[in-house]
Chains A and B, each alone.
Chain A
Amino acid sequence: FRIMAGKVKWVTDIEKSVLINNFEKRGWIQVAENEDWNFYWMSVQTIRNVFSVETGYRLSDDQIVNHFPNHYELTRKDLMVKNIKRYRKELEKEGSPLAEKDENGKYIYLDFVPVTFMLPADYNLFVEEFRKNPSSTWIMKPCGKAQGKGIFLINKLSQIKKWSRDSKTSSFIAQSSKEAYVISLYINNPLLIGGKKFDLRLYVLVSTYRPLRCYMYKLGFCRFCTVKYTPSTSELDNMFVHLTNVAIQKHGDDYNHIHGGKWTVSNLRLYLESTRGKEVTSKLFDEIHWIIVQSLKAVAPVMNNDKHCFECYGYDIIIDDKLKPWLIEVNASPSLTSSTANDRILKYNLINDTLNIAVPNGEIPDCKWNKSPPKEVLGNYEVLYDEEMAQSDGPDRDLRSRPGQSTGVKGNRARDSGKPVLTTWK
């Protein structure tokens, strides 16, 4: 009976082959939750228990988990919006040029989340906004659900009467946070390709929030709606037209199991460069990186930067027909199910590269390490933002390297070949 003392012991409560194959290929040993483990890839329910005050769970130095305790500050739709709004106000208060507004009062650099309200809390504010533009469409999303569940579109106030606090006929009691909804302005001018609507799924790995160190996976993908996009009101109920979640598209008639309605980000880039030009395409991708970093900065102050944690987020972004990216939501548990063969390969490699960064050398971790992996292990990840490096570059790194500014020094930009920029914004 060989002693396996030096091997990483792993647990997971997510039975997915892309995970398990990765653990096994490293020679790690599977153990049960109540045993001594080094690495636990947990679902979001489990992380809640691990860090909850009642259980008093204490992680030791050689234990790593794949979620931050209060990741929901970023991954719950209502909290994400709240944190971004707070962040913007703070920047405005300190007079930061990032918080600059245009003549209509819109943030120039920080307007990347569609107008959103919490329901029922902000119902009246919402109504005020709704009335400014009564022909607009809004999308209702339950705060706590994923995979497109419970989402619906409205274009009439009557459709959300239930959430009106003042409604006398409503028998709604103050909802627990599980029943809360957010309502966002629906982007009804999405960029269409081949007449089809799509969204972008990008993977972002955060190893520490303070200082912020995050990586972007180069191989993101576009998810296309199988049905032709039409902004017409009669199609509002047809979720196949509007939602790009694979879980929903999979049940549409036109779902294809070879390509799964997915395109690589490099296809997107080739298409946009060919049809729109290089500058606007580069600007778009720069903006996408920008908004991801800003969203992380927004939640960094409130995140429990527990050193036992890392997290791989699934960012959902929609591009409108003016080539402006909008952050729709961030997922703490991006799906590890594979809908096609290509998909399986991508997710397998994603986990592989993630583990290489989070658990250096595949050896028993020490959570006190500096979380600075060497370049060679990044695989398909690229450094998106490294706060430590940015600060060591000196305070004279000016703000001209912000996107949307065509003049000025580009700083440490990597070649324009689909790579995210090593940003040096502060």
Chain B
Amino acid sequence: MLDPDSGLSLTIARIVQRLKGSSLHSQLERQARVSLHKPEIRLETLKEDIKDFLKTSGWEKKLQNAVYSELNVFPSPCHPAAPPEHMKEPLAYMRKAQGSWEKRILKSLNSMCTELSIPLAQKRPVSEQKELLNKWNEMGTDEPDLSLFRPVYAPKDFLEVLMNLRNPNYENGEHPSFRNHLGLIQVPLKVKDIPELKEDFSELGLNIGQLGIDDSAQVPPEFFENEHVRVGQKVLAEQDSAAAQQYVRQGCPTALRADLWALILNISNQPEDILYYEQLKSNVIQHDLLVDSLIYKDVKLTASNDDYYFVFEDYLYQVLLCFSRDTAVLEHFTYSSATPPRSYIRGKLGMEEYAVFYPPNGVIPFHGFSMYVAPLCFLYHEPSKLYQIFREMYVRFFFRLHSISSHPSGIVSLCLLFETLLQTHLPQLFYHLREIGAQPLRISFKWMVRAFSGYLATDQLLLLWDRILGYNSLEILAVLAAAVFAFRAVNLMEVTSLAAAEAVLADLSTLKVMPLLQIFLFATVT
């Protein structure tokens, strides 16, 4: 195995390399140069004095936050000799499955393109550019004819693929053994059990204050809420990402949430970020992409009909259209099991020099994709900031929900975790539902793929996403899904069909997320 020292130096080398080219680096250099004019900087002790200056002026903290951010996002390198695919996905069969899935998606996209005779991308005529620029803030009022477009895939198509995943090295055989899994996922990934989850999510324990439980109307604010808010304000004043991440495990006060998430995601909305967003916007104006229609269709089908998010329809276009053109997103493919689809300039099929990533950000949206953005509109009303927060959330978390990988936060692991939790702790319910042809995962899959967006009330969803950020993991989605089944177990035991089970679980909008999680993890007899 890799010895810890060389692992650490590899990590350090990588982080240094990544930060070297960043704007933070040039800002630090500039600050250091500026500090030379200050009286407290003496020539004899130049290095020390500059370091002290950067510390007191808060720049060291910014650097710390950037390093912390890198550590959060990039996995530790496995072995210096490991090929780059291993950082994407160590298991060969998973890589293969993801590759096949991608081929299918791209084929579907290309055939839609051919059927409708619409190019994947084309430059807009000047008049159209002008029109779009005028309408930029109200694209929701546009009524393009989207009837011929279909989403490239829906979550349930993806579930079918996951159900058919098999590890070729693992003999499932016809002989049922204790290892045979009765759920839909048939790959032997390691998932945590409740004792392990209790340890990981210890801050959600019964005797620790939580927002979402201990801030309800019946509890006097002096018990927990006031102090928690005070601590939150302090964390923001210190501008410490790591502290913020620890803090939000107990939930964010609504007034502090936007800033806390930005701190954790290391988003500061600098002028160059705003400029970058404007550049993306002009890309949208100049070129029309086929995926744009898919985005329109998705927004119209999902967010526009949502009680909470319909108000922000226009913002969703402004974010998602820019997102499609953002080549910076391509970076995340180094640690994602997915690979961006390629397309070729017309007439140059197969010629590498004429290959481009399509869409430019390599992400083909599926049905419900816009729901990743929608809840963020409650927190950020400035488009460029909203954009950056979404992009960071995507490259840290959401991409794992629609790609095939063995990562503990990947959707495959989440599904397996969900099924295992249910089978282990609610075996009667699990068997009953299986018997009536209502495999629980068929119902909970869509919740997890969307990180519960559109299923929970917004305030509850934000409390859930607080914990995703706080624990830097999506496992809580699987735990919540199991907790929901546990909560409705009595009713579910009475149903006799998949449709009836769906009906019992159709409306989650009244659920209170934190009590459900707490009870399931800490108050259920195991």
Question: Is the CB–CB distance between A193 and B311 below 8 Å?
Answer: yes
Question: Is the CB–CB distance between A228 and B314 below 8 Å?
Answer: yes
Question: Is the CB–CB distance between A259 and B459 below 8 Å?
Answer: no
Any A CB within 8 A of the CB of B312 = yes
Question: Is the CB–CB distance between A271 and B378 below 8 Å?
Answer: yes
Contact residues in A for B381 (Cβ distance below 8 Å): 275
Any B CB within 8 A of the CB of A274 = yes
Any A CB within 8 A of the CB of B306 = yes
Any A CB within 8 A of the CB of B17 = no
Contact with B along A337-350 (1 / 0, CB 8 A): 00000100000000
Given A194-B377, A228-B141, A259-B306; A274-B314 close (CB under 8 Å): no
Question: Is the CB–CB distance between A194 and B258 below 8 Å?
Answer: no
Question: Is the CB–CB distance between B377 and A419 below 8 Å?
Answer: no
Contact residues in B for A415 (Cβ distance below 8 Å): 217, 221
Given A195-B314, A258-B307, A259-B310; A270-B253 close (CB under 8 Å): no
Contact residues in B for A417 (Cβ distance below 8 Å): 216-217
Report the minimum CB–CB distance from A132 to chain B (whole Å): 32
Any B CB within 8 A of the CB of A399 = no
Complex alpha-carbon distance, A271 and B381, angstroms: 10
Complex alpha-carbon distance, A253 and B142, angstroms: 11
Any B CB within 8 A of the CB of A196 = yes
A window 398-416: CB within 8 A of B:
415
Question: Is the CB–CB distance between A194 and B379 below 8 Å?
Answer: no
Scoring A273, A274, A278, A415 by chain B CB atoms within 10 A of each residue's CB, the highest score goes to A274
Any B CB within 8 A of the CB of A263 = yes
Question: Is the CB–CB distance between A270 and B458 below 8 Å?
Answer: yes
Task: Choose one: A261, A266, A274; the contact of B310 (CB below 8 Å).
Answer: A261
Question: Is the CB–CB distance between B217 and A273 below 8 Å?
Answer: no
Any B CB within 8 A of the CB of A136 = no
Any A CB within 8 A of the CB of B23 = no
Any B CB within 8 A of the CB of A21 = no
Chain B interface size, as a band, is: 20 to 34
Complex alpha-carbon distance, A253 and B143, angstroms: 10
**Beta-carbon nearest neighbor of A281 in chain B:** B255
Contact residues in A for B459 (Cβ distance below 8 Å): 266, 270
Number of interface residues of A (CB under 8 A): 29
Given A227-B141, A259-B305; A273-B255 close (CB under 8 Å): yes
Contact residues in A for B138 (Cβ distance below 8 Å): 195, 228
Report the minimum CB–CB distance from A258 to chain B (whole Å): 5
Any B CB within 8 A of the CB of A267 = yes
**Beta-carbon nearest neighbor of A226 in chain B:** B141
Given A256-B304, A273-B255; A194-B458 close (CB under 8 Å): no
For the residues of B in contact with A, the DSSP-based class is helix
Contact residues in B for A227 (Cβ distance below 8 Å): 141
Scoring A264, A275, A277 by chain B CB atoms within 10 A of each residue's CB, the highest score goes to A275
Complex alpha-carbon distance, A193 and B377, angstroms: 10
**Beta-carbon nearest neighbor of A277 in chain B:** B255
Contact residues in B for A266 (Cβ distance below 8 Å): 459
Given A194-B377, A419-B217; A274-B258 close (CB under 8 Å): yes
Any B CB within 8 A of the CB of A24 = no
Any B CB within 8 A of the CB of A254 = yes
Complex alpha-carbon distance, A273 and B305, angstroms: 24
Any B CB within 8 A of the CB of A224 = yes
Question: Is the CB–CB distance between B254 and A270 below 8 Å?
Answer: yes
Question: Is the CB–CB distance between B379 and A274 below 8 Å?
Answer: yes
Task: Choose one: B257, B310, B312, B314; the contact of A256 (CB below 8 Å).
Answer: B310
Scoring B143, B306, B308, B310 by chain A CB atoms within 10 A of each residue's CB, the highest score goes to B310
Question: Is the CB–CB distance between B257 and A274 below 8 Å?
Answer: yes
Question: Is the CB–CB distance between B314 and A273 below 8 Å?
Answer: no
Contact residues in B for A273 (Cβ distance below 8 Å): 254-255
Complex alpha-carbon distance, A412 and B143, angstroms: 51
Complex alpha-carbon distance, A267 and B374, angstroms: 13
Complex alpha-carbon distance, A415 and B215, angstroms: 10
Contact with A along B115-144 (1 / 0, CB 8 A): 000000000000000000000011011010
Contact residues in A for B305 (Cβ distance below 8 Å): 256, 258-259
Contact residues in A for B257 (Cβ distance below 8 Å): 274
**Beta-carbon nearest neighbor of B310 in chain A:** A259
Interchain Cβ contacts under 8 Å between A and B, 27 examples: A194-B311, A194-B314, A195-B138, A195-B314, A195-B315, A196-B311, A228-B137, A228-B138, A228-B314, A253-B143, A254-B141, A256-B310, A259-B307, A259-B310, A263-B307, A267-B308, A267-B458, A270-B458, A273-B254, A274-B254, A274-B257, A274-B258, A274-B379, A275-B258, A277-B255, A342-B307, A419-B217
Smallest CB-CB A-B distances: 3 pairs: A228-B138, A194-B311, A278-B255
Q: Chain A: residues with CB nearer than 8 A to chain B?
A: 193-196, 224, 227-228, 253-254, 256, 258-259, 261, 263-264, 266-267, 270-271, 273-275, 277-278, 281, 342, 415, 417, 419
Given A263-B308, A273-B254, A273-B255, 4 further pairs, Cβ under 8 A: A224-B311, A259-B305, A267-B308, A270-B378
